[in-house]
Amino acid sequence: MIPFFAYNWQVRDEWFDRLQPVSHEELIRDRTGGVGSILETIFHIVHVEYSWIQAAAGVTVADPDYNEYNQLQLIRQLSDGYRPFIQRFLENRSAEHDLRLVTVPWSTETLYEGEILRHVIAHEIHHMGQLSVWAKELDIKPVSANLINRGLFVQ
């Protein structure tokens, strides 16, 4: 599971770099799809990942306020700040945890931990596709979604 989170983090970091020269006005412009703007979508990706992992870890979910992180660099800092917790969570689990039942504060359903982790991975990949479409509209080369040659499965 760790290589797929590492993949998402690599791609996310490349998006942070790629979007750095884009004006703030363009980053907050409302777009079709996603959760509004490029910036809101990236914030949403970071927030959703951390919220699901906190819930799976049995930790009280803390919801950051987008208005406090409405700059690309602030969202990057938030993302970087969340990673150690997520990394520790992933490193301290085993395949048996996939069938551990989890309840989250925003749903009445009981879910499997493995289902949650795979959802988080797929969720980010989905939104990265939206960023690719928007980047093309801005004449920005999209970040490669290729998993090959990222050094994630080296022993």
Q: Model-level pTM? A: 0.94
**In-domain check, residue 20:** yes
**In-domain check, residue 142:** no
Bridge partner residues of 95 (DSSP): none
Q: Which domain holds residue 118?
A: 2-137
Distance CA 138, CA 33 (A): 15
pLDDT at residue 34 in the model: 77
Q: How many domains does the structure of the chain reveal?
A: 1
**In-domain check, residue 71:** yes
Convert the pLDDT of each residue in 39-58 to its tens digit: 999 999 999 999 999 999 99
Instruction: Say which amino acid occupies 4.
Output: F
**In-domain check, residue 149:** no
Of how many residues is the chain composed?
155
Contact in structure between 69 and 75 (CB atoms under 8 Å) = yes
Of 135, 128, 151, the C-alpha closest to 3 is 151
**In-domain check, residue 145:** no
Convert the pLDDT of each residue in 74-131 to its tens digit: 999 999 999 999 999 999 999 999 999 999 999 999 999 999 999 999 999 999 999 9
CATH of residue 68's domain is 1.20.120.450
**In-domain check, residue 148:** no
